[in-house]
Amino acid sequence: MMEKKKNCRNTVQRNLVFATTAKLMHPTAEEVYEEILSAYPNISKATVYRNLNVLAENGSLLRISSTEGADHFDIVAEKHYHGICRYCGKVFDVEVEEMLSKILEGCVSDSHGFEIESVDVIFKGVCPACRKCKEEVKDL
């Protein structure tokens, strides 16, 4: 069950969106909508998108923004890092050593007076499934 944060009213739809996001790993809003639609054909896309936005804004979900496609959502709302496959677009959790984590999160200063409020890092690469597929094609 989702954690209620910042005086946010829980609704049946919001709980359903949260549960579906938890079931799917790092889904996009469209993936959440499609999954819910199969069981609840009367739910609107706007309802799903609105509830994902509310859950991300109140800290119940983490929004993973990408410049190369749709945002993804994660039920692990605490700060952690992600990798994205440049072939299939799937998002994965990435373990970062403590030293690098400290550098990324707080040991950076700006010489131009820019106040850094947060850091988002997405590692880009190739997931195991796509790497295997590439190797199989290369072997042909």
**Which domains occur in the chain, in start order?**
12-139 (1.10.10.10)
- Cα(123)–Cα(135) distance, integer angstroms: 21
Q: So what's the pLDDT on residue 109?
A: 65
For residue 94, the surrounding DSSP H or E stretch is: strand 91-94
What does the block give as tokens for 128?
Answer: 């195991």
Q: Does 137 or 20 have the greater pLDDT score?
A: 20
- Cα(20)–Cα(86) distance, integer angstroms: 25
56-80: pLDDT as tens digits? 999 999 999 877 789 999 999 887 8
80-122: pLDDT as tens digits? 889 999 898 899 998 887 767 677 666 666 677 777 777 778 8
Q: So what's the pLDDT on residue 9?
A: 64
pTM of structure: 0.76
What does the block give as tokens for 6?
Answer: 């910042």
What does the block give as tokens for 68?
Answer: 């190369």
10-68: pLDDT as tens digits? 689 999 999 999 999 999 999 999 999 999 999 999 999 999 999 999 999 999 987 77
